[in-house]
């Protein structure tokens, strides 16, 4: 169930925007630990005032967290289903919101299972996600979907990248089939071997009270993105809570209609050595009738899974104002000129936090009109948020503070154990 959208009124889904609280916590040394998630939940709770509450004083506009897939936890869940993993890295989880109508829910499970079979992905079984609806407000509880996870396994001869691409193809296939059958309440917050997203129609402090999985000591991660939604001119619902599958976004994309139209037009010419004959399964790249934030998530996800890294994809979508910059290195100018032929900038004002499960970063579009501040601690912890001071850590241990300006970005590669400032990011993608 979702709030009605009356197309005959002044409402138009093309103009959905929101303003929010957003941030991430990451261990730049790549250490996978419970502390990162705890601090992310604390930071999220301290951004609750950037969201809003319904008249019932409990229903929020939406909140959520994205983290690395806690493999030890889900390996245990696979065993409960009677399965066995050769390696914990083989596990993947599809997080699914289902219609409350049991017949439609059964249809959706069948759609997902058919898509998995189509791309050769092994299914261990379905898991009902533990939840505590008593902490929710009336509107959130009354619109709550069925919430389940499907636990998956990798074939022995697939690389990690091929596995992730097959999961993406299966999800896209399932989404299209659900649209064709008119099932609007079917949605997949995440479908990945790298990351998992827990989100819903909450205010920030309700998130780990509702999803009791998040209280498990086995929920360890080296990075976590968090988001408190504030709907400025949108209807709050479970699906539009953030983070999305790779992006959490504060602001609005004011070039959205043009971005969507040009993306759709270029689909006719889409070719890729990475996807080969499967390229047709990627379309539409941008899901119809979703928010601006969901669209930029779709775009970044397609670019990243097609072979570009997260930093590269983020700089394609939200480039700095480079055209009249006199001191721009030649290599970086070439990067921007080349990619200007491939896509138009997604202009905000917007703060965009992104992650593929290994790299996490944040960027401002070239308008630079959304807050994004960060602190780096002596033990390698990096905290970024819409506000400073969102986690309770000793000020004496901060070794660097900063804020993002127009077109600037930072990133952490947890595999390489490296922090990238703006110059590092741009040297990385431009080959300087």
Domain boundary among 173, 193, 213: 193
Q: Do the domain assignments include residue 147?
A: yes
What is the domain extent for residue 168?
A: 70-193
- The yes-or-no verdict on residue 17 having pLDDT over 50 is no
Q: Quote the CA–CA distance of 297 and 243 in Å, as a whole number.
A: 9
Please tell me whether residues 353 and 407 are part of one structural domain: yes
Q: Do the domain assignments include residue 303?
A: yes
Please tell me whether residues 216 and 347 are part of one structural domain: yes
Q: What is the CATH number of the domain that holds 263?
A: 3.60.20.10
Q: Do the domain assignments include residue 7?
A: no
Q: Quote the CA–CA distance of 70 and 368 in Å, as a whole number.
A: 34
Please tell me whether residues 296 and 389 are part of one structural domain: yes
- Per the prediction, the chain carries an average pLDDT of 94
Please tell me whether residues 365 and 253 are part of one structural domain: yes
What is the per-residue pLDDT for 370?
94
pLDDT tens digits for range 43-76: 999 999 998 888 887 888 999 999 999 999 999 9
Please tell me whether residues 346 and 359 are part of one structural domain: yes
What is the per-residue pLDDT for 331?
97
Please tell me whether residues 118 and 267 are part of one structural domain: no
Please tell me whether residues 149 and 255 are part of one structural domain: no
Q: In total, how many domains does the chain have?
A: 2
- The yes-or-no verdict on residue 404 having pLDDT over 50 is yes
Beta bridge partners of 200: 63
Q: Do the domain assignments include residue 4?
A: no
What is the per-residue pLDDT for 1?
41
Q: What is the CATH number of the domain that holds 157?
A: 3.30.70
Q: Do the domain assignments include residue 8?
A: no
Stated pTM of the model: 0.94
What is the per-residue pLDDT for 16?
46
Confidence class for position 269, pLDDT limits 50, 70, 90: confident
Please tell me whether residues 166 and 245 are part of one structural domain: no
Q: Is residue 35 left, alpha or beta, with left meaning phi > 0 and alpha meaning psi from -120 to 50?
A: alpha
Active site residues: 20
Domain boundary among 144, 175, 193: 193
What is the per-residue pLDDT for 106?
98
Please tell me whether residues 216 and 79 are part of one structural domain: no
Mean pLDDT check: name the lowest of 15-24, 64-73, 91-100, 319-328.
15-24
Domain boundary among 164, 193, 222: 193
Please tell me whether residues 300 and 206 are part of one structural domain: yes
Q: Do the domain assignments include residue 2?
A: no
- The yes-or-no verdict on residue 289 having pLDDT over 90 is no
Confidence class for position 233, pLDDT limits 50, 70, 90: low
Please tell me whether residues 424 and 327 are part of one structural domain: yes
pLDDT tens digits for range 176-195: 999 999 999 999 999 999 99
Q: Do the domain assignments include residue 219?
A: yes
Q: Do the domain assignments include residue 5?
A: no
Please tell me whether residues 231 and 86 are part of one structural domain: no
Mean pLDDT check: name the lowest of 4-18, 32-46, 49-63.
4-18
């Amino acid at each position: 169930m979702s709030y009605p959208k009356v197309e005959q009124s002044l409402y138009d889904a093309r103009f959905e925007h929101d303003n929010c609280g957003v941030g991430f916590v990451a261990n730049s040394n790549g250490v996978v630990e419970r502390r990162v998630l705890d601090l992310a939940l604390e930071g999220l709770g301290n951004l609750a005032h950037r969201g809003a509450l319904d008249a019932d004083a409990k229903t929020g506009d939406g909140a959520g967290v994205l983290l690395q897939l806690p493999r030890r936890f889900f390996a245990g869940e696979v065993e409960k289903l009677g399965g066995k993993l050769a390696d914990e890295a083989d596990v993947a989880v599809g997080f699914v919101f289902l219609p409350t109508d049991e017949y439609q829910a059964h249809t959706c499970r069948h759609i997902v299972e058919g898509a998995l079979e189509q791309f050769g992905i092994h299914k261990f079984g379905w898991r009902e996600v533990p939840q505590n609806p008593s902490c929710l407000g009336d509107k959130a509880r009354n619109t709550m979907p069925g919430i389940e996870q499907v636990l998956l396994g990798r074939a022995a001869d697939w690389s990690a990248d091929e596995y992730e691409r097959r999961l993406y193809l299966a999800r896209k296939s399932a989404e299209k089939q659900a649209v064709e059958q008119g099932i609007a309440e079917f949605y997949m917050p995440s479908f990945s071997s790298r990351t998992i997203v827990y989100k819903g129609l909450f205010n920030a402090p309700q998130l780990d009270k509702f999803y009791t999985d998040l209280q498990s000591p086995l929920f360890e991660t080296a990075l976590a993105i968090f988001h408190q939604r504030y709907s400025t001119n949108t209807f709050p619902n479970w699906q539009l809570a953030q983070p999305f599958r790779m992006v959490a976004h504060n602001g609005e994309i004011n070039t959205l209609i043009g971005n969507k139209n040009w993306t759709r037009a270029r689909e006719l010419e889409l070719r890729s050595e990475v996807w080969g004959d499967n390229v047709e399964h990627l379309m539409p790249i941008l899901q119809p009738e979703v928010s601006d934030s969901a669209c930029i998530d779709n775009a970044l996800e397609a670019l990243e899974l097609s072979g570009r890294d997260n930093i590269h994809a983020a700089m394609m979508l939200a480039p700095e104002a480079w055209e009249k910059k006199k001191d721009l290195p030649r290599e970086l100018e070439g990067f921007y000129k080349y990619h200007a032929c491939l896509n138009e900038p997604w202009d905000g004002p917007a703060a965009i936090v992104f992650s593929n499960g290994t790299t996490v970063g944040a960027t401002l579009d070239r308008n630079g009109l959304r807050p994004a501040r960060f602190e780096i601690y002596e033990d390698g912890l990096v905290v970024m948020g819409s506000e400073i001071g969102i986690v309770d850590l000793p000020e004496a241990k901060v070794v660097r503070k900063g804020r993002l300006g127009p077109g600037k970005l930072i990133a952490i590669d947890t595999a390489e154990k490296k922090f990238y400032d703006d110059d590092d990011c741009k040297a990385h993608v431009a080959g300087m």
